[in-house]
A and B are shown apart, each in its own frame.
Chain A
């Protein structure tokens, strides 16, 4: 049944692209998540409202629509924008960039909530102590808050990454040659959809297992030296 007819390397290339896409999106998403959480916890009502709008809207719309919207929508906007800077010609968002942007925005909206919860879980006393020492806002944030936020947010972020890995399949629908797309191309030649989609499923499962192991070890490392309450 696993007669790949020479498409093995193509499939592996696709899997590699899937990982690249996930890596790009997670980078964008983490930044957006931190910004969003800070905005939600800020004193400015505008910031809180903007962040609230961001998370509500993005979490309520299918990822597929967001991917398609960004892919089709940004081309015109970017070209017009570049035009105002005197640049003639076409400015496009490649399927990779569109995928990273769309998935990054989605990841960021859920990550905002994870980071927000993590930031709220840091004992107020520590922040007050830091301020009593004379540490400025930024110093407090990146020496006291941030390191602890990572530890607390890790399980939640890990789950979001697992979801992200699966969402990368959607980007195949705008032509990015990741795993799903490569599988479809192989099927175009071999006419064996079940074989190749099963193979793709197994590869995704493999990625899931490796990621889960990675998260497990990351949590162990992040919690080193910490006394956990025993129930």
Chain B
């Protein structure tokens, strides 16, 4: 009881201390190479680098808060953080709950399956396809293939890959670059892309509460700035040999 009270009071106290211009950024921390948690417990990745660059451009301090993907938008709405930089796609559905900046990279979805398994996008009937819950991959599967395939949704991308590598799934539908990253890893050696990228007009943006229109403006300007002065290109090159904007 005392510990609960102490935690509550401490959080209240800390939150009450007015920081000069700190921006709290919400991210997942389980989505390599965009955001993941290292052995030191800190988040790192493409999203983190971009967020830091944007904060520099806006001359504010960035503080990162990790949140499980399922609760990342509810967390924003509950004011746990002020912006979500976690490879979130801009969708009409999400726009009903939050506001988005312009894009900071482009995305598409692609299937990954075992080499030589004969999996083909023309013959999906009855196959077990996995995706992370609450992502646009999950949405795509639910909206288009609900009657054709057996959709398996996972809490984390990691658990989904675990089932893919042991053969519980026939294929995985996920963001192209996330799949690309996994296919390069040791676990993904026996797997490959199947089929062309789908959902190719997907834009990744930063989610912000609807009432924070000023923040959207500042973030958009910052995005333009880091695109113009080469910072973006540097970060891009660090992770991918191709341009992902």
Contacts and interface: CB of A to CB of B under 8 A. Distances in A.
Contact of B15 (A31, A89, A193): A89
Given A96-B7, A193-B162, A87 B16 contact: yes
Overall SS of chain A's interface? helix
Interface string B71-85: 100110111110000
Contacts of A97: 4, 7-8
Interface residues of B, number: 27
Contacts of B81: 90
Interface string B1-13: 1111001100110
Interface in B1-51: 1-4, 7-8, 11-12, 15-16, 24
B38 to A, nearest CB: 11
A90 B81 CA distance: 8
B79 A90 contact: yes
B243 interface: no
Nearest to B68: A175
Contact of A72 (B1, B8, B71): B71
Contact of A75 (B68, B80, B162, B165): B80
A68 to B, nearest CB: 9
A93 B7 CA distance: 9
A87 B12 CA distance: 9
Interface of B: 1-4, 7-8, 11-12, 15-16, 24, 66-68, 71, 74-75, 77-81, 155, 158, 162, 165, 187
Given A90-B15, A173-B155, 9 more contacts: A28-B4, A72-B71, A75-B74, A89-B79, A91-B11, A91-B12, A91-B15, A101-B4, A175-B66
Interface of A: 24, 27-28, 31, 71-72, 75-76, 79, 82, 87, 89-94, 96-97, 100-101, 173-175, 187-188, 191, 193
